[in-house]
Amino acid sequence: MHRLRVLAKPYGVLKVDAAPGIISITFQKNPPIDPMKIIHLIQKNKHIKLAGNEKLRIERELPGTKDRAQMVRDILKNLGQPIPAS
């Protein structure tokens, strides 16, 4: 989990809740991510939804902790590299 926190921090992730059926990723306000990448991710994956302005909700049954952590890593990877602060 520590590695996941370290990986998620540059994306502006404040919190990850990873229950077996639902994963929520909460971002800071105005995260350093291209908004079009988020829109594309949601359009391409029916199980990923926006839940408010700063939260992604992934509805997928993943009973194993490792599987849920991998799902979060895959989502972050699909968002591309974080935008460097100017």
30-67 per-position pLDDT tens digit: 999 999 999 999 999 999 999 988 999 999 999 999 99
3-state secondary structure of 16: strand
pLDDT at 75: 96
Across the range 7-25, mean pLDDT stands at 95
pLDDT at 3: 87
Residues of the chain with pLDDT > 90, as a percent, come to: 86
pLDDT at 7: 93
The single-letter DSSP state of residue 78 is H
Residue 33, classified by CB atoms within 10 Å of its CB into exposed (0-12), middle (13-18) or buried (19+), is buried
- CA–CA distance, 49 with 71 (Å, rounded to integer): 14
pLDDT at 1: 72
The answer to whether the CB of 80 falls within 8 A of the CB of 33 is: yes
71 phi, psi to nearest 5 deg = -60, -45
On average, the pLDDT of the chain sits at 93
Half-sphere exposure of 25 (CA within 13 A, CB side): 25
